[in-house]
Protein backbone atom coordinates (compact mmCIF):
# COMPACT_ATOMS: atom_id res chain seq x y z
CA UNK A 1 0.00 0.00 0.00
CA UNK A 2 1.47 3.35 -1.03
CA UNK A 3 1.65 5.77 1.88
CA UNK A 4 2.40 9.48 1.51
CA UNK A 5 3.36 11.86 4.31
CA UNK A 6 3.12 15.50 3.30
CA UNK A 7 2.10 18.95 4.42
CA UNK A 8 -0.90 20.21 2.47
CA UNK A 9 -3.55 22.92 2.27
CA UNK A 10 -7.23 22.24 1.51
CA UNK A 11 -8.05 24.12 -1.72
CA UNK A 12 -11.64 22.88 -1.98
CA UNK A 13 -13.88 20.01 -0.99
CA UNK A 14 -17.03 18.11 -1.91
CA UNK A 15 -19.17 16.47 0.73
CA UNK A 16 -20.29 12.94 -0.06
CA UNK A 17 -22.32 10.28 1.74
CA UNK A 18 -23.44 11.01 5.28
CA UNK A 19 -20.19 12.22 6.82
CA UNK A 20 -17.42 11.87 4.22
CA UNK A 21 -15.63 14.51 2.18
CA UNK A 22 -13.39 14.57 -0.88
CA UNK A 23 -10.70 17.17 -0.29
CA UNK A 24 -8.37 18.66 -2.90
CA UNK A 25 -4.98 19.41 -1.40
CA UNK A 26 -2.10 21.45 -2.71
CA UNK A 27 0.81 19.71 -1.02
CA UNK A 28 4.28 20.93 -0.20
CA UNK A 29 6.07 18.25 -2.24
CA UNK A 30 3.56 15.90 -3.88
CA UNK A 31 1.63 18.17 -6.21
CA UNK A 32 -2.15 18.42 -6.12
CA UNK A 33 -3.94 15.45 -4.59
CA UNK A 34 -7.59 14.50 -4.24
CA UNK A 35 -8.30 12.37 -1.19
CA UNK A 36 -11.30 10.91 0.57
CA UNK A 37 -11.63 11.69 4.26
CA UNK A 38 -13.96 9.10 5.72
CA UNK A 39 -16.22 10.33 8.51
CA UNK A 40 -14.45 13.71 8.76
CA UNK A 41 -17.71 15.63 9.16
CA UNK A 42 -18.59 13.83 12.38
CA UNK A 43 -18.08 16.15 15.37
CA UNK A 44 -15.76 13.70 17.12
CA UNK A 45 -13.71 12.77 14.03
CA UNK A 46 -9.95 13.18 14.43
CA UNK A 47 -9.98 14.53 10.83
CA UNK A 48 -12.61 17.23 11.49
CA UNK A 49 -10.31 20.26 11.72
CA UNK A 50 -7.71 19.14 9.16
CA UNK A 51 -10.36 18.70 6.44
CA UNK A 52 -11.80 22.24 6.64
CA UNK A 53 -11.30 24.68 3.77
CA UNK A 54 -7.81 26.34 3.86
CA UNK A 55 -6.57 24.12 6.73
CA UNK A 56 -2.82 23.48 6.58
CA UNK A 57 -1.94 20.10 8.09
CA UNK A 58 0.61 17.33 8.11
CA UNK A 59 -1.25 14.52 6.37
CA UNK A 60 -0.73 10.82 6.10
CA UNK A 61 -2.49 9.51 2.98
CA UNK A 62 -2.69 6.04 1.55
CA UNK A 63 -3.58 5.06 -1.96
CA UNK A 64 -6.61 2.87 -2.44
CA UNK A 65 -7.78 1.38 -5.73
CA UNK A 66 -8.87 4.69 -7.27
CA UNK A 67 -8.32 7.41 -4.71
CA UNK A 68 -6.08 8.51 -1.92
CA UNK A 69 -7.57 8.23 1.55
CA UNK A 70 -6.75 10.53 4.46
CA UNK A 71 -5.38 8.38 7.26
CA UNK A 72 -4.49 11.23 9.64
CA UNK A 73 -4.07 14.99 9.63
CA UNK A 74 -2.24 17.05 12.23
CA UNK A 75 -3.50 20.61 11.98
CA UNK A 76 -0.79 23.29 11.67
CA UNK A 77 -2.78 26.40 10.73
CA UNK A 78 -6.59 26.63 10.50
CA UNK A 79 -6.88 30.27 9.31
CA UNK A 80 -10.11 30.34 11.32
CA UNK A 81 -10.39 34.11 11.39
CA UNK A 82 -10.72 34.29 7.59
CA UNK A 83 -14.28 33.08 8.17
CA UNK A 84 -15.17 36.15 10.24
CA UNK A 85 -14.81 38.61 7.38
CA UNK A 86 -16.80 38.11 4.18
CA UNK A 87 -14.37 40.05 1.98
CA UNK A 88 -11.31 38.20 3.32
CA UNK A 89 -13.09 34.87 2.98
CA UNK A 90 -14.02 35.69 -0.62
CA UNK A 91 -10.42 36.60 -1.46
CA UNK A 92 -9.23 33.37 0.16
CA UNK A 93 -11.67 31.40 -2.02
CA UNK A 94 -10.37 33.27 -5.10
CA UNK A 95 -6.72 32.61 -4.16
CA UNK A 96 -7.47 28.90 -3.74
CA UNK A 97 -9.45 28.77 -7.01
CA UNK A 98 -6.55 30.39 -8.83
CA UNK A 99 -4.05 27.91 -7.32
CA UNK A 100 -6.35 25.03 -8.29
CA UNK A 101 -6.57 26.35 -11.87
CA UNK A 102 -2.81 26.60 -12.45
CA UNK A 103 -1.86 23.21 -10.97
CA UNK A 104 -2.10 19.69 -12.26
CA UNK A 105 -1.66 16.50 -10.34
CA UNK A 106 1.97 15.31 -10.25
CA UNK A 107 3.49 18.75 -10.88
CA UNK A 108 6.01 20.37 -8.52
CA UNK A 109 4.09 22.43 -6.03
CA UNK A 110 6.37 23.61 -3.25
CA UNK A 111 6.70 27.24 -4.36
CA UNK A 112 2.98 27.54 -4.97
CA UNK A 113 2.20 25.91 -1.60
CA UNK A 114 4.47 28.42 0.15
CA UNK A 115 3.09 31.45 -1.72
CA UNK A 116 -0.53 30.46 -1.04
CA UNK A 117 0.11 29.63 2.64
CA UNK A 118 1.93 32.93 3.20
CA UNK A 119 -0.73 34.92 1.34
CA UNK A 120 -3.52 33.36 3.43
CA UNK A 121 -1.49 34.06 6.57
CA UNK A 122 -1.15 37.75 5.73
CA UNK A 123 -4.77 37.90 4.59
CA UNK A 124 -5.79 36.63 8.03
CA UNK A 125 -3.76 39.47 9.61
CA UNK A 126 -4.27 43.16 8.93
CA UNK A 127 -0.71 44.16 8.11
CA UNK A 128 -0.98 44.39 4.32
CA UNK A 129 -3.86 46.07 2.42
CA UNK A 130 -5.95 43.29 0.84
CA UNK A 131 -5.81 44.76 -2.67
CA UNK A 132 -2.00 44.96 -2.65
CA UNK A 133 -1.77 41.39 -1.32
CA UNK A 134 -4.20 40.18 -4.00
CA UNK A 135 -2.32 41.85 -6.88
CA UNK A 136 1.03 40.52 -5.66
CA UNK A 137 -0.36 36.99 -5.23
CA UNK A 138 -1.86 36.97 -8.73
CA UNK A 139 1.36 38.24 -10.31
CA UNK A 140 3.53 35.76 -8.40
CA UNK A 141 1.23 32.89 -9.34
CA UNK A 142 1.24 33.89 -13.01
CA UNK A 143 5.05 34.10 -12.90
CA UNK A 144 5.23 30.57 -11.42
CA UNK A 145 2.90 29.34 -14.16
CA UNK A 146 5.08 30.71 -16.94
CA UNK A 147 3.19 33.96 -17.55
CA UNK A 148 5.58 36.54 -16.11
CA UNK A 149 4.61 39.91 -17.58
CA UNK A 150 7.43 41.62 -19.47
CA UNK A 151 7.73 45.05 -17.84
CA UNK A 152 11.16 46.45 -18.60
CA UNK A 153 11.36 45.76 -22.34
CA UNK A 154 8.85 46.14 -25.15
CA UNK A 155 7.13 42.78 -25.79
CA UNK A 156 7.24 43.48 -29.52
CA UNK A 157 10.68 44.96 -30.29
CA UNK A 158 12.62 44.40 -27.07
CA UNK A 159 13.64 48.05 -26.59
CA UNK A 160 13.69 49.39 -23.04
CA UNK A 161 12.75 53.04 -23.75
CA UNK A 162 9.44 54.89 -23.92
CA UNK A 163 7.40 52.02 -22.51
CA UNK A 164 4.09 53.82 -22.47
CA UNK A 165 1.44 51.09 -22.76
CA UNK A 166 0.60 47.73 -21.23
CA UNK A 167 -0.72 45.02 -23.51
CA UNK A 168 -2.84 42.41 -21.73
CA UNK A 169 -2.95 40.36 -24.96
CA UNK A 170 0.81 40.34 -25.61
CA UNK A 171 1.73 40.05 -21.93
CA UNK A 172 3.65 43.19 -21.08
CA UNK A 173 4.92 46.65 -21.98
CA UNK A 174 4.74 48.17 -25.44
CA UNK A 175 7.00 51.05 -26.50
CA UNK A 176 5.67 54.14 -28.26
CA UNK A 177 6.91 52.79 -31.65
CA UNK A 178 4.93 49.56 -31.23
CA UNK A 179 1.62 50.90 -29.90
CA UNK A 180 -0.20 49.71 -32.99
CA UNK A 181 0.61 46.07 -32.36
CA UNK A 182 -2.21 45.92 -29.82
CA UNK A 183 -4.97 48.48 -30.26
CA UNK A 184 -6.49 47.32 -26.96
CA UNK A 185 -3.31 48.10 -24.99
CA UNK A 186 -3.68 50.43 -22.01
CA UNK A 187 -1.76 53.70 -21.60
CA UNK A 188 0.15 53.55 -18.33
CA UNK A 189 2.63 55.78 -16.56
CA UNK A 190 6.23 54.77 -15.86
CA UNK A 191 5.31 54.69 -12.18
CA UNK A 192 2.50 52.18 -12.79
CA UNK A 193 4.85 49.89 -14.71
CA UNK A 194 7.44 50.14 -11.92
CA UNK A 195 4.85 49.32 -9.25
CA UNK A 196 3.62 46.24 -11.12
CA UNK A 197 7.27 45.11 -11.16
CA UNK A 198 7.59 45.76 -7.43
CA UNK A 199 4.39 43.83 -6.64
CA UNK A 200 5.86 40.93 -8.59
CA UNK A 201 9.30 40.97 -6.98
CA UNK A 202 8.72 42.13 -3.39
CA UNK A 203 8.54 39.23 -0.89
CA UNK A 204 5.03 38.85 0.54
CA UNK A 205 6.23 39.63 4.06
CA UNK A 206 7.55 43.02 2.85
CA UNK A 207 4.54 44.13 0.78
CA UNK A 208 3.53 46.53 3.55
CA UNK A 209 6.53 48.68 2.54
CA UNK A 210 4.90 49.46 -0.85
CA UNK A 211 3.04 52.73 -1.00
CA UNK A 212 0.63 52.99 -3.93
CA UNK A 213 -1.54 55.99 -4.71
CA UNK A 214 -5.21 54.96 -4.86
CA UNK A 215 -5.78 56.00 -8.50
CA UNK A 216 -2.71 54.10 -9.65
CA UNK A 217 -3.77 51.12 -7.58
CA UNK A 218 -7.22 50.97 -9.24
CA UNK A 219 -5.47 50.91 -12.63
CA UNK A 220 -3.03 48.17 -11.55
CA UNK A 221 -5.82 46.08 -10.00
CA UNK A 222 -7.73 46.08 -13.31
CA UNK A 223 -4.62 45.29 -15.38
CA UNK A 224 -3.57 42.40 -13.13
CA UNK A 225 -6.99 40.72 -13.08
CA UNK A 226 -7.47 41.20 -16.83
CA UNK A 227 -4.02 39.66 -17.36
CA UNK A 228 -4.98 36.63 -15.24
CA UNK A 229 -8.31 36.12 -17.01
CA UNK A 230 -6.79 36.49 -20.46
CA UNK A 231 -3.87 34.10 -20.02
CA UNK A 232 -5.68 31.46 -17.96
CA UNK A 233 -8.68 31.82 -20.28
CA UNK A 234 -11.09 31.75 -17.38
CA UNK A 235 -13.52 34.06 -15.63
CA UNK A 236 -13.48 33.50 -11.88
CA UNK A 237 -16.85 33.44 -10.12
CA UNK A 238 -15.14 34.18 -6.82
CA UNK A 239 -13.81 37.47 -8.26
CA UNK A 240 -17.31 38.41 -9.45
CA UNK A 241 -18.46 37.83 -5.89
CA UNK A 242 -15.65 40.01 -4.51
CA UNK A 243 -16.64 42.82 -6.87
CA UNK A 244 -20.27 42.51 -5.75
CA UNK A 245 -19.26 42.79 -2.10
CA UNK A 246 -17.13 45.83 -2.86
CA UNK A 247 -19.88 47.55 -4.84
CA UNK A 248 -22.44 46.93 -2.10
CA UNK A 249 -19.94 47.79 0.63
CA UNK A 250 -21.39 45.07 2.85
CA UNK A 251 -18.17 43.76 4.29
ZN1 LIG B 1 8.55 48.25 -29.22
| pLDDT tens, residue by residue, 160-215 | 999 999 999 999 999 999 999 999 999 999 999 999 999 999 999 999 999 999 99
pLDDT in tens, 17-42: 999 999 999 999 899 999 999 999 99
Give the 3-state secondary structure of residue 7.
strand
Cα separation, 132 vs 175, in Å, equals 26
Cα separation, 8 vs 2, in Å, equals 17
pLDDT band for 249, please (50, 70, 90 cuts): low
Q: Report phi then psi at 52, rounded to 5.
A: -85, 155
CATH number of 81-248: 1.20.1440.120
Tell me the residues surrounding ligand 1 (ion) with CB < 5 Å: 154, 156-157, 175, 178
Question: Contact, 158 vs 204, CB < 8 A?
Answer: no
- How far is the centre of ligand 1, averaged over its atoms, from the C-alpha of 146 (Å)? 22
Cβ contacts of residue 66 below 8 Å, gap of 6+? none
First to last CA, the chain: 48
- How far is the centre of ligand 1, averaged over its atoms, from the C-alpha of 184 (Å)? 15
Question: Contact, 240 vs 179, CB < 8 A?
Answer: no
CA atoms within 13 A on the CB side of 174: 21
- How far is the centre of ligand 1, averaged over its atoms, from the C-alpha of 167 (Å)? 11
- How far is the centre of ligand 1, averaged over its atoms, from the C-alpha of 182 (Å)? 11
The answer to whether domain 3-78 and domain 81-248 are alike in fold is no
Q: Does domain 3-78 have CATH number 3.40.50.300?
A: no
Domain ranges, ordered by start, for the chain: 3-78, 81-248
Cα separation, 119 vs 126, in Å, equals 12
Question: Contact, 232 vs 239, CB < 8 A?
Answer: no
- How far is the centre of ligand 1, averaged over its atoms, from the C-alpha of 149 (Å)? 15
pLDDT in tens, 3-20: 999 999 999 999 999 999
Question: Contact, 32 vs 46, CB < 8 A?
Answer: no
- How far is the centre of ligand 1, averaged over its atoms, from the C-alpha of 181 (Å)? 9
Amino acid sequence: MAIIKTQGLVLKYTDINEADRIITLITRNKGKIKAIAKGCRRPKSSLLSSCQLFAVSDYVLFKGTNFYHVSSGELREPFFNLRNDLLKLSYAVYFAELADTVTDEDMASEKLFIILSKTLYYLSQNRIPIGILACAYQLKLMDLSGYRPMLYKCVNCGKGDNLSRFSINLGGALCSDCNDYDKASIKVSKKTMELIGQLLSTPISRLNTLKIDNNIFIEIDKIVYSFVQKHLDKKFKSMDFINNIKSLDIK
